[in-house]
């Protein structure tokens, strides 16, 4: 079969042009029609610029520390922030809250197995709980775990057990402005070299994150999944997929990879997971649920060890830290996430935001990702060096300008591992309308106009791990006083 990864450079470019033109052709020129109507509304509150200034300073320039009531448009994350459908709410009423063996678990397990196809389905309260169990059971100190790009919780959980998390994105992924249809691909040559350098025995598993969140929400091609599996199989290394945005990844394959045009997202997802030995999943993304996750494997022995650990910290294997009603919501959500009307709206509306700001010169990771737009903060604020956190500074300005909450993915989140400083605008599923997004575009363009005035920040406090959640900053020009000075001393 013709596969993207076997094409030459010029052929790839021509193919990409045709694919992008076709994608753009599905994009309405004026109005995006959301494939739903609104039954319940949730008011959002305007604040004044002076209030936002005060709130930002009070939060030490960390948007995680601002109450959501003071946010107008919340693009902090697409995780657990989506709106549920009438079918999901209806299913929740059927939730059976029995401690053991509830039919809600059976519906959840069947829904997961019908899409992902793995023998064991272990529910967890969210994605990182699945990661913690996976790494605890499979890894030990001195091990090495490759991934296209580890998400922050994946890296932290891997390092917590003493293993080394290694990112192996393709070289194109390190160029934010470069257009490539599958920029989430893992560098198979790099994987071979890593195996040759450290030895397969030190690599208990290889991971592949679809779509690659930290790398710009970029998809992984089926050809790449197949190639990674081929390398892993040759060295007897199990392949696990971080499946958070599997449906968006499947739709990108349908749009961009030759041979998949007529397949359904469900068929494509099935093929993706047939190449893997297991997966971790946060159902807060393409499970269209507000909480939940799961861990899957085909290995009976590992599954037993994972379930034992699950009982210790999450709960009995038929609920894993979730209520029966949560299991029901996920069972319905996983299927809704694979509907083509939904996926088309999802991909097109995210690209709408990215294309509109890029057209005005705002540097973004190209092409637009599935769940988010990533502004290249180093290029947006060339006067702010990475050590002064350009992403945090830019995110703060978007809040002051228009009450928009975004998140830095860069030097704050990844420290020395950061190769880019990005501001992620993650779009919650089925929540905001086109007019909300038009407003976001206007705010970004206002900040773009006054970009030369924006200054960097200095770290005043940081936690020993996952520091981005609670870190505090001060403006470069401000002198630390009192408590802030104390915190800064601790941070050093
Ligand atoms: C790629 C990826 N993996 C893992 C996780 C962790 O999932 P959770 O937040 O449910 O713990 C996330 C969450 O954003 C993610 O994007």
Question: What average pLDDT does the segment 272-283 reach?
Answer: 98
The pLDDT value recorded for residue 171 is: 95
- Asked if residue 79 has its Cβ within 6 Å of ligand 1, the reply is yes
Confidence of residue 465 (pLDDT cuts 50, 70, 90): confident
- Asked if residue 149 has its Cβ within 6 Å of ligand 1, the reply is no
Whether the pLDDT of residue 6 is over 80: the answer is no
CA pair distance 380, 475, nearest whole angstrom: 18
Whether the pLDDT of residue 269 is over 90: the answer is yes
Question: What average pLDDT does the segment 143-166 reach?
Answer: 96
Question: Are 212 and 220 a contacting pair, CB within 8 Å?
Answer: yes
Whether the pLDDT of residue 375 is over 60: the answer is yes
Instruction: Give the residue whose CA is nearest to atom 2 of ligand 1.
Output: 151
Half-sphere CA count of 124, side-chain side, radius 13 A? 29
The pLDDT value recorded for residue 186 is: 98
The pLDDT value recorded for residue 213 is: 87
Question: What average pLDDT does the segment 74-93 reach?
Answer: 98
Q: Give the residue from 405, 365, 346, 414 showing the smallest Cα distance to 153.
A: 414
Question: What average pLDDT does the segment 432-449 reach?
Answer: 97
- Asked if residue 282 has its Cβ within 6 Å of ligand 1, the reply is yes
Among 197-206, 395-404, 465-474, the range scoring the smallest mean pLDDT is: 465-474
Question: What average pLDDT does the segment 16-39 reach?
Answer: 67
Distance 166 CA to ligand 1 centre (A): 17
Instruction: Give the residue whose CA is nearest to atom 16 of ligand 1.
Output: 213
- Asked if residue 153 has its Cβ within 6 Å of ligand 1, the reply is yes
The pLDDT value recorded for residue 1 is: 43
Please report, rounded to a whole number, the percentage of residues in the chain having pLDDT higher than 90.
86
Distance 128 CA to ligand 1 centre (A): 6
Q: What is the pLDDT of residues 85-94, one digit of tens each?
A: 999 999 999 9
Site to substitute for ligand 1 among 184, 215, 244, 429, most atoms within 8 A of C-beta: 244
Q: Is 167 helix (H, G, I), strand (E, B) or coil?
A: strand
Taking the CA of residue 212 as reference, the ligand 1 atom at the shortest distance is 1
Question: What average pLDDT does the segment 148-169 reach?
Answer: 95
Site to substitute for ligand 1 among 125, 128, 294, most atoms within 8 A of C-beta: 128
Question: Are 198 and 158 a contacting pair, CB within 8 Å?
Answer: no
Among 203-212, 335-344, 478-487, the range scoring the smallest mean pLDDT is: 478-487
Question: What average pLDDT does the segment 122-131 reach?
Answer: 98
CA pair distance 350, 39, nearest whole angstrom: 23
Whether the pLDDT of residue 4 is over 80: the answer is no
The pLDDT value recorded for residue 2 is: 46
DSSP for 111-124, written as a single string: HHHHHH--SEEEEE
Among 58-72, 128-142, 202-216, the range scoring the smallest mean pLDDT is: 202-216
The pLDDT value recorded for residue 29 is: 54
Taking the CA of residue 245 as reference, the ligand 1 atom at the shortest distance is 1
- Asked if residue 102 has its Cβ within 6 Å of ligand 1, the reply is no
Question: What average pLDDT does the segment 231-239 reach?
Answer: 98
Sign, Cα dihedral of 125, 266, 212, 442 = negative
Distance 161 CA to ligand 1 centre (A): 18
What is the rounded average pLDDT for all residues in the chain?
92
Confidence of residue 485 (pLDDT cuts 50, 70, 90): low
Question: What average pLDDT does the segment 244-271 reach?
Answer: 97
Site to substitute for ligand 1 among 123, 212, 282, most atoms within 8 A of C-beta: 282
- Which residue would you say has higher pLDDT here, 414 or 158? 158
Residue position matching structure tokens 């941070």: 491
Q: What is the pLDDT of residues 90-117, one digit of tens each?
A: 999 999 999 999 999 999 999 999 999 9
Q: pTM for the whole thing?
A: 0.90
Question: What average pLDDT does the segment 322-339 reach?
Answer: 98
Q: Give the residue from 162, 133, 129 showing the smallest Cα distance to 145.
A: 162
Whether the pLDDT of residue 28 is over 60: the answer is no
The pLDDT value recorded for residue 23 is: 59
Residue 457, both tokens: 């920040």
Please report, rounded to a whole number, the percentage of residues in the chain having pLDDT higher than 70.
90
Site to substitute for ligand 1 among 213, 243, 429, most atoms within 8 A of C-beta: 213
């Amino acid at each position: 079969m013709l596969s993207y990864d076997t094409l030459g450079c010029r052929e790839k470019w021509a193919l990409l042009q045709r694919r992008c033109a076709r994608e753009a052709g599905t994009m309405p020129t004026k109005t995006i029609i959301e494939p739903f109507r609104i039954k319940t509304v949730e008011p959002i509150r305007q604040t004044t610029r002076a209030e936002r200034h005060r709130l930002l300073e009070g939060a030490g320039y960390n948007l995680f520390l601002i109450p959501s009531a003071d946010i107008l448009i919340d693009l902090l994350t697409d995780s657990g922030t989506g709106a549920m459908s009438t079918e999901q709410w209806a299913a929740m009423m059927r939730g059976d809250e029995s401690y053991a063996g509830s039919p809600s678990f059976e519906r959840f397990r069947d829904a997961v197995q019908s899409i992902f196809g793995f023998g064991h389905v272990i529910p967890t309260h969210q994605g990182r709980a699945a990661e913690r169990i996976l790494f605890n059971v499979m890894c030990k100190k001195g091990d090495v775990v490759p991934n296209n790009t580890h998400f922050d919780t994946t890296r932290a959980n891997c390092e917590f057990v003493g293993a080394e998390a290694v990112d192996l994105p393709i070289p194109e992924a390190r160029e934010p402005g470069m257009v490539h249809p599958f920029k989430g691909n893992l560098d198979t040559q790099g994987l071979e070299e890593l195996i040759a350098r450290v030895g397969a025995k030190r690599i208990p598993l290889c991971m592949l994150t679809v779509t690659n969140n930290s790398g710009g929400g970029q998809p992984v091609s089926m050809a790449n999944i197949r190639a990674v599996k081929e390398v892993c199989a040759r060295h007897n290394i199990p392949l696990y997929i971080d499946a958070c945005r599997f449906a968006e990844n499947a739709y990108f394959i349908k749009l961009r990879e030759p041979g998949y045009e007529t397949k359904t997202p469900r068929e494509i997802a099935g093929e993706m997971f047939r190449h893997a030995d297991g997966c971790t999943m946060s159902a807060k993304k393409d499970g269209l649920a507000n909480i939940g996750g799961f861990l899957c494997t085909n290995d009976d022995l590992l599954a037993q060890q994972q379930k034992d650990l699950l009982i210790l910290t999450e709960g009995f294997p038929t609920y894993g830290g979730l209520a029966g009603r949560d299991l029901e919501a996920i069972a319905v959500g996983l299927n809704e996430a694979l509907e083509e009307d939904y996926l088309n709206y999802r991909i097109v509306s995210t690209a709408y935001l990215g294309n509109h700001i890029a057209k005005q010169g705002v540097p973004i990771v190209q092409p637009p990702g599935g769940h988010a737009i990533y502004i290249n903060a180093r290029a947006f604020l060339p006067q702010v060096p990475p050590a002064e956190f350009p992403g945090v500074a830019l995110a703060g300005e978007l809040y002051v300008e228009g009450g928009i909450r975004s998140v830095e993915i860069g030097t704050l989140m990844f420290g020395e591992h950061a190769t880019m400083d990005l501001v992620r605008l993650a779009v919650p599923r089925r929540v905001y309308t086109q007019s909300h997004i038009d407003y976001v575009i206007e705010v970004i363009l206002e900040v773009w106009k006054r970009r030369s005035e924006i200054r960097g920040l200095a770290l005043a406090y940081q936690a020993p791990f996952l520091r981005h959640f609670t870190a505090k900053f001060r403006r470069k020009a401000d002198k630390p006083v009192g408590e802030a000075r104390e915190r800064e001393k601790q941070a050093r």
